Structure formats: C-alpha cells, structure tokens
Amino acid sequence: MCRQSFLLKCKTILLVVLFTATTLLSAPATAHASIASILLGGVVQYTYLKKTLTNMHYNENDKILNNFKKEYGVNHDEVANRQLDSVMTRLLASIDPQGKIKPPFSWFVNNQTSFNAFCGLGNTVSVNIGLFQELNYNEDELAFVLAHELTHGLQQHSLKSLPKVVSLSVAQALYQEKNPNAASAITTTIISRQLIANHTTMPQEREADANSFTYAVNAGYNPGAGAAIWARISAKNGGKTRSTFENIINPNDHPTNQERVNSFSERLTEYSHKKVRVKQNTVFVNDKPWVTPLAANGLLAEERAYFIAGSLATVFHEIPAGKPCIVKNGSLTMNGKAIMDPIHTEKSPAELAEQLNRILGF
C-alpha cells in the first residue's frame, strides 16, 4: 500500500472490495449499457457491498482477524507484542473505559518490514514489525500511530467511504458510456482517483491525525510524540517530493510528512497554552530560545526537541504559569515531572535550569 517510502498507510479489506466494484462499474462496455442499467448496477453494487461489509464488520471479526494473520503473518517479537498490548489497552481504557465499543478491537504484530500499520474491518489493528524497528520501539510514538488507527475504526471510515466511492464509480461509468474511447477511460479514472483521494481518504486521514493527538495525550503519552514521529520519518525520507505527473496519476491521499510535523507541532503549542514551541530544532519557551538539543538515546535532534517540548507542554497545560525548574539526579524536572536529561556535550543541567527559570521569571 505504501506509494512513498515511510508513508504511513491504512489498509482495509474494503479497499480491495471497492476496487473490484469500481473496476466493474467503470470498465468500458463492449455492448453499450443504458443509463438506467448503469444506475441500477450502481444501486445494486452499493446495496450488496453495504450489507456484506456491515455483516463482516460486526459478525465476522474473528474470521477477518484470522485472514489478516494468514495474509501478513504473525510476528512474535516479545518487545513489540508487549508494547502493542500495553499501548492498546491503555488507549482503550482512556477512550472507552466501560468497554462499549462493538465489535471490540483486536490486534497483532505482523511480519511486514515496511513502516506501516492498518485498521481493517472488524476493528482489526495490525502493526508491521518494521514500524517498531523504525521507531526504535518508542512507546510514545507508537501510541500516536495506534490512536490514529483507532480513529479509523471508531469513526467507521471504511464503511463511511462506501457511498462516495460507489457514486463516483457510477458517474465515471455514465461518462464513459457517452464517451466510449480510451482517452475518456483514462481521464475519468484519473479524475475519480483524485476525487476519492482529496474528498474521501484525505479528510479521514486528517481526522485520524487530529484525534490521535487527543487520544494519546489523554492517555498520558508525551504530547510531542506526534510531531517527533514525522520529524524522524521526514529526515529518513530525505525530503523527497513527488513529481506533478505522479500526483496526477497516483494522487497522494495522506498529508505529507512535513504537513504532519507542522500540524502536530501546532497542537503541541496549543496544548501548552502557547508557552512552548519548536523551531529549527530549538525549544522556545515564552517565545524565547531555551535549548537546542543534540541527537541522543536513539532520537534525532529534532525528534528529541519535540519530546522535551512535549514534557514542558504537559506542565504548562496543568499550570500555565509554570513552576521553577530544578535538577534532580542530573535530570531537569518541573512540578515533579522529568523534562530533560542533558547529555555531556550539552550545557550542564544547572545551566539549563537557571536559563529556563530566568525565561519564566523565577
């Protein structure tokens, strides 16, 4: 499913079924069908798909889970499985403390080595072992990925996509009926893909990103982890961009890595009551530069800046005026919360604490 390196994609069984339906509806007819028959075909396809997929979602979730396991394999990495169980349990306890979600979510680690995760029909969540490895098994970052996938399941994005996709398929078939040539077939296919990407998939992805911040932070994970993920992936991806031709033929249906960095960074700043911001790898407090951390502990420099900013944001969210920063066992803490563990090539903990307190007016 990944059309760009390290681009987080969300697979569902529905996509396969919808592709089949789209192909059937949009294929140029050899014996031209009437407009009435095309419309009827669309209604029949929609009714059948909706009934079938809804039944699968609610009543065959165990079967769906087993099919996914057969297709992608089950990975038994102990750390990955332990983290997946821990984070999913913690997120769901925060989102649905009374356990009312139906069908209940199920999850597993699969054998795929790419950076990917998905939520399928039946509220089946799976994470590639490659994603754990790419994120160095960082639990806060994993929480944002899983909160994103939970949103797809909770909002039933797969089932909600059905009316738009079938409607576009019918419109495509009607146009090709009136213009039965290869150029029309290519043009309508491109337009249909653009509309689905821009008006169905992309809005769902933006909603999933927005909700992932709320779900992960409410469950107690670092508010900077969302921006940190995409700063890491953007750096690994080398800032590659797609050509105009690629975007036309195969439209991008997810926000870009940098767009995600920016949106999560803004949410972080808002969460801190606009006290904290990250710009060019530097953590700003009250619009004044405080620290430009170096790469350490498996985190890139910008990634680490977002984690430090996230810890600060948690304090400022609870106490907008802040609290004096103190040094405890070599770590910077505020209001009893660890903020930063400086490494030996950075300023000393005492210097950083004094500088932060001066910015805060203490």
State how far Cα 158 lies from the chain centre. Answer: 15
Same domain, 274 and 218: no
pLDDT of residue 71: 95
Q: Average pLDDT of 265-287?
A: 97
Query: Which of 188, 207, 222 delimits the end of a domain?
Result: 222
Q: What is the mean pLDDT of the chain?
A: 81
Same domain, 70 and 197: yes
pLDDT of residue 21: 41
pLDDT of residue 179: 59
Task: Locate 353 and state its tokens.
Answer: 């604490």
Is residue 149 in a domain? yes
State how far Cα 174 lies from the chain centre. Answer: 35
| Residue with more model confidence, 80 or 32 | 80
Provide DSSP, 2-62. Answer: -SSTT------HHHHHHHHHHHHHHSPPSSPPPHHHHHHHHHHHHHHHHHHHHHHHHH-HH
Handedness of CA 223, 228, 233, 239 (dihedral sign): positive
Same domain, 25 and 83: yes
pLDDT of residue 135: 97
Q: How confident is the model at residue 99 (pLDDT cuts 50, 70, 90)?
A: very high
pLDDT of residue 121: 85
The DSSP call for residue 105 is P
Is residue 233 in a domain? no
Given a cut of 80, is residue 37 above it in pLDDT? no
Is residue 327 in a domain? yes
Q: What is the pTM of this model?
A: 0.79
Given a cut of 50, is residue 210 above it in pLDDT? yes
Q: Which region, left, alpha or beta, applies to residue 165 given φ > 0 means left and ψ of -120 to 50 means alpha?
A: alpha
Same domain, 277 and 200: no
Same domain, 197 and 292: no
Given a cut of 90, is residue 168 above it in pLDDT? no
Same domain, 287 and 167: no
Q: Average pLDDT of 177-201?
A: 49
Given a cut of 70, is residue 249 above it in pLDDT? no
pLDDT of residue 336: 93
> What is d(CA 312, CA 283) in angstroms, rounded to the nearest whole number?
10
pLDDT of residue 343: 95
Is residue 256 in a domain? no
Q: Cα 230–233–236 angle (5° rounding)?
A: 150
Q: Cα 15–21–24 angle (5° rounding)?
A: 140
Same domain, 274 and 192: no
Is residue 257 in a domain? no
Is residue 265 in a domain? no
Query: Which of 222, 250, 281 delimits the end of a domain?
Result: 222
Is residue 249 in a domain? no
For residue range 288-324, list pLDDT tens digits in order. Answer: 999 999 999 999 999 999 999 999 999 999 999 989 9
> What is d(CA 112, CA 131) in angstroms, rounded to the nearest whole number?
9
Q: Which of 6-20, 108-122, 264-278 is predicted least confidently?
A: 6-20
pLDDT of residue 259: 93
Q: Which of 71-75, 138-142, 246-250, 341-345 is predicted least confidently?
A: 246-250
Q: How confident is the model at residue 330 (pLDDT cuts 50, 70, 90)?
A: very high
Strands 331-334 and 282-285: unpaired
Same domain, 172 and 304: no
Q: Give the domain range for residue 294.
A: 270-360
Domains: count for the chain: 2
| Residue with more model confidence, 137 or 187 | 137
Is residue 187 in a domain? yes
Same domain, 282 and 135: no
pLDDT of residue 269: 98
Same domain, 214 and 278: no
Percent of the chain having pLDDT more than 90? Answer: 62
Whether omega for the bond prior to residue 103 falls within 30 degrees of 0, making it cis, is yes
Query: Which of 163, 189, 222 delimits the end of a domain?
Result: 222
Given a cut of 90, is residue 35 above it in pLDDT? no
Given a cut of 80, is residue 354 above it in pLDDT? yes
Same domain, 300 and 205: no
**Bridge partners, residue 128, by sequence:** 110
pLDDT of residue 31: 43
Same domain, 279 and 178: no
